Structure 1
């Protein structure tokens, strides 16, 4: 008897069940059994044992006899190995067949990576929509250079307050006209109370915003009705350097004093202890709060009074206490 070639598309035969094994043992004990009688006992199990090669039918007289299980096991093993080898070969052929598509994909990605990562957006409404989408991603840092007059409707951003409340950093650069505009002074007083740093630079500088050093937005036209959204890391790194250089030279402004705002109680208490000459650690110990909290209060006081150093701040606080 010869074993027919295995078709890898057909499922591999399952191993015999308990019922099929019992029927095999019955045939083995009997020596041989008429196929008709065996089928009457369990037609499904009889067909499966013949399929697995555990039983052999003698066609002339219609009898069935048991076959050595080792021979059946060898045939089953060969069938499984042939199927596995064919599957491995098909897997290799699939990889080779898709190689040309992979080459095209890599070339397309390479062209995309080389493309300028700059998007030009036209129209104030579209620009605002794009900015809102960026702010909705919960940025952790924003660097903003805003030259010229700031209209009242451009201030009072509740999203800025929410961002600062969760610990974001906001550094904003204005020109001197901001100190002479009441609504900008009022905003400066409020925003510095939230934790923002607003400074004034008496030099020309370009309008831009940088979010998380990941996306930079610059004006693309004189009327500011076109904006370029930049995601190129090299360009953004350059813009960050330009901003930080300008911000370091800019003047601190006592926005809250200009606005006539009263000093919050916590800041006032820290200021009083600074005026007495206490160190940051001593102030934390006296007030029963952490040094980081004291450092944050001192940073706000420096912004409020425009103090360049801690020594200068202490002197300003002493002068104010007299």
Structure 2
């Protein structure tokens, strides 16, 4: 058989069978072949009826046969290319108009440069916030002056009935100015929770607008204002997930200050050390000082009687203290 009807598309060229090759070889050797000849060599144009005798087939060079069979396809390709060029020409005015309008439209993401611009933007967004405020503030204890400046705005948010939630790292639980700030905001209805590790700084207003650090720059004076509700909503969901895993910060009469979670912080420090992080790297991730990190590691070394950092990592790996 020259065709496998189950495997070959009807529009695909025929496949040479052994009988067809034998007939083509005989025609090349003798100058012609008598009918009947296999269907494949006829379809491919390798054997063509003689003009004077339709029962006699003459051989045709393969390149000549291919050129003859391929002419309709080449013609269709050329027509298709011309059609595509015409289509692009027809749509060119609309493309120019579209690009002009896109350039004039307000971008859903804007770069904020310089700390004063960032502060003014945050103040404006806070004043217009009506339903929910979410903030992730990594880096450990906050600057007391900045906390004092931001406190009136946060209390004003809560006074309008805005739901207020902020995530810090565990290291703030021993920082007096940050705890005082949280206590005042909590008294007005705000809520705080802490995690050992926290993603980068971000503030979300009404789940529709967000401000995040521009990670293209190492300096802190660059931020991104995201006014796309879909992106801001996604970030709000990330915050919700972290909030569900975080530890609440509670101020009450029985406990004037929230628990410092010392054991949990120490486990996190040791886990990162076992993973190979330096003291400075651990301190940056957990929002604490390198000296505090070194203290946690030294206490663990004394407890396990380790001779070196590598030996301590080995002993910690064998124990269940990090589980």
Instruction: Pick the TM interval, shorter chain.
Output: 0.3 to 0.5
Q: Which structure has the highest helix share of the two?
A: 1
Structure index of larger Rg:
1
TM-score (norm. length: structure 2): 0.45
TM-score, normalised to structure 1, is 0.45
